Chain A
Amino acid sequence: MSENNEKDWPLWEVFYQPKNGKPYEHAGSLHASDAENALQNARDVYVRRNEGIGIWVVPSDQITASTPEDMGSFFDPASDKPYRHPQFYSVPRAVKKRS
């Protein structure tokens, strides 16, 4: 196993921006020896057909993510606040018709 550890290049997560003004999206991951190599590989693997105009590569082990186990308690502060949505509020009928 330790031998395998050394054999594999580090893992990187790839994000690309599909178009000007759009947010970056996760494309997938790849192995690369360093950041520059990761960027070039990302272009060849994930952007062969002009899928993006910009690429980010991030070392996978640098990402901190929420875990499925605490999904409920982590997100539930948002689940009892319907007043954060416009549907919570009523509007005079006359105005509603016009819109």
Chain B
Amino acid sequence: METQQQLDDFQARIDAGEKIEPKDWMPERYREQIIRMGSQHAHSEIVGMLPEGNWISRAPSLKRKLVLLAKVQDEAGHGLYLYSAIETLGVRRSELIDQYLYGSAKYSSIFNYPTLSYADVCVIGWLVDGAAIVNQTKLAHSSYGPYARANLRICKEESFHKKQGYEMVAKLAEGTPAQRKMVQSAVDRFWWPTLMMFGPNDSNSPNSAELLKWQVKLNTNDELRQHFVDRVVMEAEAVGLTLPDPDLKFNEETGHWEFGEIPWDEFWDVVKGNGVMNRERIKSRRKAHEDGAWVREAAQAYARKKNLSREKAS
């Protein structure tokens, strides 16, 4: 049973900017929220390998293939940092994996969109990783110590992801008319789904108040989205690309770029599982997990055998 005194003491620690560590007392609800949000984040990193992994074998040059391989490998690493951070709360890795492969755990909806050309890979680096950096830079200050440290590590690696994407976008944007068309089409398709990555509007985000109170996250969805839009408008202008929003205009008073209504119906539809790639993504992840079962078992059997022979020898 949680007493009011415990809850107040906990809140006082949070308000004083202290980090919460695995063995510290915490409200059950705080623990649940970190597990929910952190594991969703981890699943997203793992599923996030698929849209880009799809293009590794068809990278336009050896250089780009090396870059893409390194990026996709990083995403796997990011997933692993996050799973480890969440496991400090006493939840098992295999439970987390089961929840997203066979249960109802979610991952970011952005990965339920298909990658139709190599320009999509470029634009994902620029926009999707760009948006992820905005989120994760803030999450590196999250109140749960292990989660904050995992995000800090991710941020150090992620800036190359965005930069390589933007570099390729810039190259395509100054390329042949066909290349320009290809990259503009990618921007047109990924713009709105990228803005959705920050989550529902503040007025419609049921978890936000609690997460902010406990400083699991430090900014609202709309604040982070605005921060992202302000930066990307400049970056798009710099390479002569158009963001597909006729309502985009600068507000002199606020100093921010105003943007049009996000197609939330589409967002909820994809969250519910009706995106173009939802079924395919889960199918691929299940197959990878199940096909790898014998490797995991063999490694365990080998470790057992080695232990036994060591015991016998001693």
Q: Which residues of A contact B (CB under 8 A)?
A: 1, 4-5, 7-9, 11, 28-31, 33-34, 37, 44-46, 48-49, 65, 67-68
Q: What residues of chain B lie closer than 8 Å to A49, measured between beta carbons?
A: 157
Interchain CB contact under 8 A, A29 and B84? yes
Q: Compute how far the CA of A44 lies from the CA of B98 in the bound complex, rounded to whole angstroms.
A: 24
CB distance from B89 to the nearest CB of A (A): 13
What class of interface size applies to chain B in its complex with A? 20 to 34
Rank and list the top 3 A-B pairs by shortest CB-CB distance, nearest first: A33-B299, A34-B303, A7-B94
Q: Does B300 contact A (CB under 8 A)?
A: yes
Q: Compute how far the CA of A29 lies from the CA of B83 in the bound complex, rounded to whole angstroms.
A: 9
Interface string of B82-96 (1 = CB under 8 A from A): 001101100011110
Given contacts A33-B302, A68-B25, contact A8 B84 (CB under 8 A): no
Q: Compute how far the CA of A28 lies from the CA of B82 in the bound complex, rounded to whole angstroms.
A: 10
Q: What residues of chain B lie closer than 8 Å to A45, measured between beta carbons?
A: 77, 80-81
Describe B's contact surface by its main secondary structure: helix
Interchain CB contact under 8 A, A28 and B296? no
Q: What residues of chain B lie closer than 8 Å to A67, measured between beta carbons?
A: 23
CB distance from B28 to the nearest CB of A (A): 17
Interchain CB contact under 8 A, B299 and A37? yes
Interchain CB contact under 8 A, A33 and B303? yes
Given contacts A8-B93, A9-B296, A65-B23, contact A34 B306 (CB under 8 A): yes
Q: Compute how far the CA of A4 lies from the CA of B303 in the bound complex, rounded to whole angstroms.
A: 18
Interchain CB contact under 8 A, A28 and B150? yes
Q: What residues of chain A lie closer than 8 Å to B296, measured between beta carbons?
A: 7, 9, 33
Q: What residues of chain B lie closer than 8 Å to A4, measured between beta carbons?
A: 92, 94-95, 98
CB distance from B295 to the nearest CB of A (A): 10
Q: Compute how far the CA of A30 lies from the CA of B83 in the bound complex, rounded to whole angstroms.
A: 9
Interchain CB contact under 8 A, A31 and B93? yes
Q: Which of B66-110 contact A (CB under 8 A)?
A: 73-74, 77, 80-81, 84-85, 87-88, 92-95, 98
